[in-house]
Structure 1
């Protein structure tokens, strides 16, 4: 391939360099010269891509290196700080509240923790924050002085590094809500209101543990090319399109704003005017009195059904992950979804675990019983957790080995990374490892201090977790190990579906080391699961900074500020939401607008593991397979691994049993009508378009993903305040056939309450 990327030497695999063979000055200089030459060749190749001068074959994306080079082409001012302080207050989470809510503060910070209390658990859209900050940043640049004594307030045009710094801070703050589960469950189900100071320190401490994990793992999960973090690609693509001006990006920007505008207008219809479009099921339209049809084919309302063969026209539910997640991740997910339809139907209609005595789907606990589908989810999640240990050990040991070796203080082998993006980052001062170690020690101290009450007796509820110091230490170590394991899958294949399963796992572990203590069980899950999730999120931010060449110390600072601000605002919003919507949050199915499903699930597991573990999960008990499945999961990857060693060209290495098992009861909670369109769109984008139209895919696929999400999330934000009641008064669309409040959104029989 003339002048193509295929001619460039491959450095996608990193390697150790020992003192004996190549650490002398001459050899190191040779390495630097080769890296510099390769970097220049890659830059020239990217210029040809940008000018549309490359061949069709050269645009084809086949691996992580191709994505990093072809999709992601190779500063603090007052303006930047001013935006950060206001955006974080205003955009601390983007959710789906759609209900009247009296006495709630009318300010932007209320969009915070809302997604935690919505029927469909929606994550914060970085693209939503990105678009708004782009408008806001450029607007401020034009109205603020650029000359005179105040020109330092606005030193130049709003640039990509300022923009990324804002997004990292605001998204860090926006994702602070996970630890709120312990505090909210105490309030909702035990009428214990935690002291505000202890609550905020609990939030901050549990997050900062994750910072320490991220700092220790960044050498192996951020710098190498193999760790390309698929979730970052569309975001980095949009940053570059908006801020770099050349022939290709100008076309991409026009396409972005065209699709963005269309989605901005379209989403008003399914979200407000015509809710039936969130889940069109011909079976429910034909029969809205059958509970069987509801359980199998319904799924447009929370805890309604599996949504088999239904179709959603609401991109707010579908999301753009299907456009950027690698094809094999999506195939593994789809296999798991197929198992879901079979397994959930089998356990319920086979009346396993007395299934028909309880709702088809529910996260609540019925004295010593779960709904059958919830119990099944506990089993498949543990199968996944066991499998991830073996899968990473078998297929990714060489990626993690350098980190393990670095724990040896006598190890003198440096870790040499050959990555074009990382080469550019060498211009900045790196973050010393001791910074992260300091954060880790401080967070550990906060966590230990919060175990006991240091507040006066007048405080209604302080930090008495009942969790011994040694138990917290054990849980933190296990959390770090799983942060490395799941971080590897998130970095290399884009797998993130381990949040709720991680919670159940740590509750199970806590039940064995601190039995009979439900409150301690919740804290065990908090200090086990939350730092793991936060550490992975911070690693992803560090990779985004590497893609857009943001100084690592700026990234670190933005993450720290976002953590503190986010903890405070999430706590304030939690109090407001619980006060005004307690009844809806305590019901099984909630409403179309508010749902306590996350808190219910958390509390159910805490009670079952913390107080009833021997009766529910011990030998001879109803759910004895839940802990046993963890051990079974460990052996699941071996058949595919041995098959891969025997027939290496068949592709058995692409089958990931951890992902398949995690998705094998994926539809046991929430709104499920988005699954089918996501499966179809994902295969169409990542297989058909990527292989048949590589030029279009490389140039536009990730921009389309950003535009679809961006337009959807911006109008969702506006609708929340304008008509769904986030500002205090809701304005429901008049009832009609497509908006019948007596039925589910897809006109199925309403779910059991």
Structure 2
């Protein structure tokens, strides 16, 4: 039985493992006398070049190897971190990211702003400022010297904290779209800020367990830290990467205009759709997927990097394989549920986030609510509500994943996480054996009481906005949710930190189910319960990964503290300002190719189904009783693999991560095939055969975000009026009954 993660052992549970690259004996012999354990932190450029040559043949593996070989431990404590350049880049690019993230919340495919894109752009702007701003006299306060890694890292942490679409903005949008209520601007902004900062208090307390140890290496952050160090520690070597970035950045930025605007068929090339040309519902449901809520996108070829994303480049192979298995399950069950007419699925669209009457028309929630509270007499007249089968499947899998994740972490990693539940975070003298953490001891730490104060203030503001906004969420329910959220943050955070496997959003259904049990018949209270349960956990996980980035790049902890809090506040304000007002498209089931209310619809549908109709839909005798039962099933799923690993420790049962995904139930799905191909190529072939290129290629694929921003404002209507590209074969129109991939348009 493996009870403790040891980054040196080959049987460590769920840690990514890459087999050594096959090299011929002569090459192996030529490196036998080389001290491969030498740190890559040497300041000698020639030595670093020799080390890179050695690394061509010695694939780095496991958390410790990545932490001290792929990443440098060097540091110069004299470098300034809190500078004018840091503030300019942090607030400027953070504002840009927050605006873009909020716009894309209302797009058919929700995308996040790439950290690597912000990182590289800020590098060039920072160096430009260092070159053109004088350094004499009082100017030295604006330009204290060369642009360094500390101020660069602080700026990016501020950006990453700001560049999100906060869940509280969903409540603002849903209140306007579905409840005819507009929140007071001050209340809305304070609600956004408090919901962002609650998770920050949790993250600060959990640093000892989820940030400082080597085993918690946060795979999604390693790429970012590698780029930081390449740009700032290897300036003579970085020129190749800089040129590579500009070439790739420019090419991708220009290319993205083609599939996004001129030639949308390239978003999802499906031979089946092209042959069918809009006649078959079956082919659309299975092979279509280039338009919002169209289909599963099986075997489609996506030439739009905006939808493929960079996650497949950095997520460890074992994690991706588990996700691919999840995709196969989802393909199978989505088709099975629909075509076997489970839950009367054929009465409703194949994919949708709305609620329906049994005859397939959209459910009118106003017919069952009185003052936004469930009215049993009105419900008796209106009748029951139904989901599309795909949406019901997503809810079921969400609960399944939540239970499986909880038991998975407790079985495999209890010794590592138990301290978070026993108060060890507040005890002095915790022994953390990590080279990066040792380097950080020269800086003043952020005391735990700072985070406690932030949490207490955010807690008070959240309670106040709950009552002033009419949420219907009592103070004690809010408090219970936060206690539970803290526990789940530990579990989910540990899984994410050692595998890169993020399941945080799958807890939404759990919190909705919990609030529905505590406060039945109150859909608005259910939304607020989800906000302070699920979103607080999501925010804490994001902040924890930023703490790890600061540790890898030796950013003084107190600068990290400032960057994260200021970024959260700026992002919250801009999220509110940028909420899209396009009511007809946002209320439509299919939306348009440019705008979609899928996220707001899903958020509201779940609030109505759980908050108002929980007993009728999910209780005993309800249509979807299997959804809550799935939570119990998920609790059992990891146990057979854990027992099998104890019996046959060499059989690799520890590779199985039982929580799996159901991402195909929403949005645009044509990217799956290329995501699998690129992920396998990157994490198996490139990482094994060419590990040096593996660390260089991934940072250069961020140009699409510039193109996304430009097209959103220039032609897609983010700045006001949309300018559609003329209809032609490669840009079909819904008026022709065709989706973007020339499959039959969704009903």
Into which bin does the TM-score normalised by the smaller protein fall? 0.7 to 0.9
Over 3 Å counting, the alpha-carbon distance change for 1:372 and 1:111 in structure 2 is: same
Contact 1:374 1:668 in 2 (8 A): yes
Corresponding position: 1:466 with 2:490:
no
1:245-260 to 2 correspondences below 5 Å = 245-246=234-235, 248-260=237-249
Over 3 Å counting, the alpha-carbon distance change for 1:264 and 1:669 in structure 2 is: same
Corresponding position: 1:397 with 2:414:
yes
**In the alignment, which residue of structure 1 is the partner of 2:481?**
475
Contact 1:545 1:551 in 2 (8 A): yes
**In the alignment, which residue of structure 2 is the partner of 1:231?**
220
SS in 1 for 2:491: helix
Corresponding position: 1:746 with 2:745:
no
Q: Distance in 2 between matches of 1:13 and 1:406?
A: 30
Question: Of 443, 466, 469, which residue of structure 2 is paired with 1:428?
Answer: 443
SS in 2 for 1:370: coil
Instruction: Calculate the TM-score normalised by the size of structure 2.
Output: 0.87
**In the alignment, which residue of structure 2 is the partner of 1:590?**
591
SS in 1 for 2:422: helix
Q: Distance in 1 between matches of 2:171 and 2:52?
A: 56
SS in 1 for 2:651: coil
Corresponding position: 1:381 with 2:398:
yes
Contact 1:506 1:529 in 2 (8 A): yes
**In the alignment, which residue of structure 2 is the partner of 1:438?**
453
Which range moves more in the overlay, 521-530 or 68-77? Answer: 68-77
CA displacement 1:634-669 (0-9 Å, x = unmatched): 0110011111111111111110112x2xx1x32110
Q: 1:49: how far off? A: 5.0
Over 3 Å counting, the alpha-carbon distance change for 1:682 and 1:307 in structure 2 is: same
Q: Distance in 2 between matches of 1:373 and 1:112?
A: 26
Q: Distance in 1 between matches of 2:101 and 2:351?
A: 27
Contact 1:79 1:154 in 2 (8 A): yes
**In the alignment, which residue of structure 2 is the partner of 1:151?**
140
Over 3 Å counting, the alpha-carbon distance change for 1:732 and 1:51 in structure 2 is: farther
Contact 2:11 2:654 in 1 (8 A): no
Instruction: Calculate the TM-score normalised by the size of structure 1.
Output: 0.87
1:568-587 to 2 correspondences below 5 Å = 568-574=573-579, 577-578=580-581, 581-587=582-588
Q: Which runs of 5+ in 1 are unaligned?
A: 1-8, 15-36, 94-109, 454-462
Contact 1:347 1:372 in 2 (8 A): yes
Over 3 Å counting, the alpha-carbon distance change for 1:53 and 1:232 in structure 2 is: closer
SS in 2 for 1:429: coil
Q: Which runs of 5+ in 2 are unaligned?
A: 1-6, 13-34, 74-80, 358-384
Over 3 Å counting, the alpha-carbon distance change for 1:38 and 1:482 in structure 2 is: farther
Contact 2:105 2:165 in 1 (8 A): no
Contact 2:162 2:571 in 1 (8 A): yes
Q: 1:700: how far off? A: 2.7
Over 3 Å counting, the alpha-carbon distance change for 1:60 and 1:238 in structure 2 is: same
**In the alignment, which residue of structure 2 is the partner of 1:678?**
675
1:597-608 to 2 correspondences below 5 Å = 597-608=598-609
**In the alignment, which residue of structure 1 is the partner of 2:718?**
726
1:2-81 to 2 correspondences below 5 Å = 43=41, 48-52=47-51, 54-55=53-54, 59-74=58-73, 75-81=81-87
Q: Distance in 1 between matches of 2:296 and 2:462?
A: 39
**In the alignment, which residue of structure 2 is the partner of 1:317?**
307
SS in 2 for 1:415: coil
Corresponding position: 1:707 with 2:700:
yes
**In the alignment, which residue of structure 2 is the partner of 1:88?**
94
Contact 1:115 1:122 in 2 (8 A): yes
Q: 1:706: how far off? A: 1.8
Corresponding position: 1:690 with 2:680:
no
Over 3 Å counting, the alpha-carbon distance change for 1:408 and 1:687 in structure 2 is: closer
**In the alignment, which residue of structure 2 is the partner of 1:102?**
none
Over 3 Å counting, the alpha-carbon distance change for 1:668 and 1:176 in structure 2 is: closer
1:208-287 to 2 correspondences below 5 Å = 208-246=197-235, 248-287=237-276
Corresponding position: 1:329 with 2:329:
no
Corresponding position: 1:202 with 2:191:
yes
Corresponding position: 1:522 with 2:527:
yes
Contact 2:158 2:564 in 1 (8 A): yes
**In the alignment, which residue of structure 1 is the partner of 2:657?**
656
Q: Distance in 2 between matches of 1:385 and 1:507?
A: 13
Question: Of 148, 162, 171, which residue of structure 1 is paired with 2:160?
Answer: 171
**In the alignment, which residue of structure 2 is the partner of 1:126?**
115
Q: Distance in 1 between matches of 2:194 and 2:52?
A: 51
Q: 1:121: how far off? A: 1.0
Q: Distance in 2 between matches of 1:144 and 1:250?
A: 23
Contact 1:51 1:248 in 2 (8 A): no
Contact 2:104 2:110 in 1 (8 A): yes
**In the alignment, which residue of structure 1 is the partner of 2:292?**
302
Over 3 Å counting, the alpha-carbon distance change for 1:192 and 1:157 in structure 2 is: same
What is the root-mean-square deviation of aligned Cα atoms in Å? 2.4
Q: Distance in 1 between matches of 2:504 and 2:186?
A: 30
Q: 1:246: how far off? A: 4.8
Q: Distance in 1 between matches of 2:731 and 2:283?
A: 19
Contact 1:120 1:302 in 2 (8 A): yes
Corresponding position: 1:355 with 2:345:
yes
Q: Distance in 1 between matches of 2:353 and 2:472?
A: 25
Contact 2:39 2:69 in 1 (8 A): no
Q: Distance in 2 between matches of 1:60 and 1:668?
A: 37
Contact 1:359 1:371 in 2 (8 A): yes
**In the alignment, which residue of structure 2 is the partner of 1:736?**
728
Q: Distance in 2 between matches of 1:615 and 1:280?
A: 42
Corresponding position: 1:160 with 2:166:
no
Q: 1:734: how far off? A: 2.2
Q: 1:621: how far off? A: 1.0
Which range moves more in the overlay, 42-51 or 675-684? Answer: 42-51
**In the alignment, which residue of structure 2 is the partner of 1:341?**
331
CA displacement 1:152-202 (0-9 Å, x = unmatched): 221112222111111111221112522211111111100100111111111
Contact 2:101 2:113 in 1 (8 A): no
Contact 2:40 2:48 in 1 (8 A): no
Contact 2:39 2:68 in 1 (8 A): no
**In the alignment, which residue of structure 2 is the partner of 1:666?**
663
Which range moves more in the overlay, 730-739 or 629-638? Answer: 730-739
Contact 1:12 1:225 in 2 (8 A): no
**In the alignment, which residue of structure 2 is the partner of 1:31?**
none
Contact 2:686 2:693 in 1 (8 A): no
